[in-house]
């Protein structure tokens, strides 16, 4: 399968929309929101730089990768607050794997 410029950008955009759910899966409700934001920023940076790497153009452009990172982060934050949080998907993702505390000596 040949990756075209359009395919790489659209795939990167789709990944940006899903990243907040992924962050919810690997964190808990008690995880500090700043930690979640930094994790989301790191994942969107990875997404932006990988989309530029998948670009079949002349060569790798760090400036374009940085812009793609900002677009990816903005898209992820907007999809979190506009789609995933109001529908309850964010909360359900954080409940996956959540453990209840057991009393000591039980």
- Residue-wise pLDDT for 57-73, tens only, equals 778 888 988 999 999 99
Rg of the chain in Å (alpha carbons): 17
Does 106 fall in a domain?
no
Confidence (pLDDT) at 47: 93
Does 104 fall in a domain?
no
Number of domains in the chain: 1
Does 101 fall in a domain?
no
Question: Does residue 92 register a pLDDT over 70?
Answer: yes
Distance CA 82, CA 86 (A): 7
Quote the pTM value. Answer: 0.79
Confidence (pLDDT) at 72: 93
The whole domain housing 90 covers 5-95
């Amino acid at each position: 399968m040949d990756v075209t410029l359009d395919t790489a950008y659209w795939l990167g955009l789709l990944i940006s929309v899903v990243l907040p759910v992924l962050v919810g899966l690997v964190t808990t409700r008690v995880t500090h929101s700043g930690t979640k934001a930094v994790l989301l920023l790191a994942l969107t940076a990875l997404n932006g730089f990988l989309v530029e790497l998948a670009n079949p153009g002349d060569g790798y452009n760090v400036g374009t990768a940085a812009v793609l990172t900002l677009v990816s982060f903005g898209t992820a934050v907007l999809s979190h607050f506009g789609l995933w949080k109001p529908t309850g998907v964010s909360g359900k993702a954080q409940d996956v794997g959540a453990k209840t505390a057991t009393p000591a000596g039980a």
